[in-house]
Amino acid sequence: MADYALKAEIADPRAGAWDFPAQKTMYGGRRIAVGDVVYLFASENEGGTGLVARGIVTAAEATPPRPGIERQTPRVGIAVTRTALAKRRLGRAELKPFADWDDGRPETELNFKCYRQATNKIVGLSPEAAAFLSGFF
């Protein structure tokens, strides 16, 4: 089992389950599998507020590459069942001060992986970042 973060448009952050088809993956995100823990960030680019929930992956399937395109970011479709709602805020504004990419802090890892690029994506997390995020539930 591993821990991941997903930053995506989440229309209903309080829903009991979600489907996320064909999500971009970075930083080991393509290895996400059934049973893994995923921390859900409602993308601020789509009006979200950052960390909203934690869940368990109930389905994961790699999206086949589109023919005729040489370089493609791996994509995975996942289904997630919510296990907890975030009790306090964690988003772009809270993570922005952590920009010393070599300081080893979990906040910096999250800022780098989730917000350095604006794209929505699934990213793999270190045990330290996962432990930090678990404190929000």
pTM value is: 0.94
User: How far apart (Å, rounded) are the C-alpha atoms in residues 74 and 23?
Assistant: 8
Please state the domain count of the chain: 1
Residue 114 domain-assigned (yes or no): yes
Confidence at residue 110, expressed as pLDDT on a 0 to 100 scale? 97
Residue 90 domain-assigned (yes or no): yes
Greatest Cα pair distance in the chain: 45
Confidence at residue 24, expressed as pLDDT on a 0 to 100 scale? 95
Residue 44 domain-assigned (yes or no): yes
Which range, of 35-49, 61-75, 79-93, 105-119, averages the lowest pLDDT? 61-75
Residue 118 domain-assigned (yes or no): yes
Does the pLDDT at position 63 exceed 90?
A: no
Q: 83, 88, 115, 120: which is closest to 99 by C-alpha?
A: 115
Residue 7 domain-assigned (yes or no): yes
Mean pLDDT, range 11-40, rounded to an integer: 96
Residue 135 domain-assigned (yes or no): no
User: How far apart (Å, rounded) are the C-alpha atoms in residues 94 and 134?
Assistant: 16
User: How far apart (Å, rounded) are the C-alpha atoms in residues 38 and 70?
Assistant: 30
Does the pLDDT at position 7 exceed 80?
A: yes
Residue 137 domain-assigned (yes or no): no
Confidence at residue 118, expressed as pLDDT on a 0 to 100 scale? 83
Does the pLDDT at position 43 exceed 90?
A: yes
Confidence at residue 137, expressed as pLDDT on a 0 to 100 scale? 96
Does the pLDDT at position 72 exceed 80?
A: no
Confidence at residue 64, expressed as pLDDT on a 0 to 100 scale? 83
Residue 126 burial (10 A CB sphere; 0-12, 13-18, 19+):
middle
Mean per-residue pLDDT of the chain: 94
Residue 64 burial (10 A CB sphere; 0-12, 13-18, 19+):
exposed
* CATH number of residue 58's parent domain: 3.10.590
Residue 92 domain-assigned (yes or no): yes
- Residue range of the domain that includes 13: 3-130
Retrieve residue 19's tokens. 């489907």
pLDDT tens string 87-119: 999 999 999 999 998 999 999 999 999 999 889
User: How far apart (Å, rounded) are the C-alpha atoms in residues 122 and 22?
Assistant: 10
Confidence at residue 65, expressed as pLDDT on a 0 to 100 scale? 80
Q: Which residue has the tokens 């988003």?
A: 91
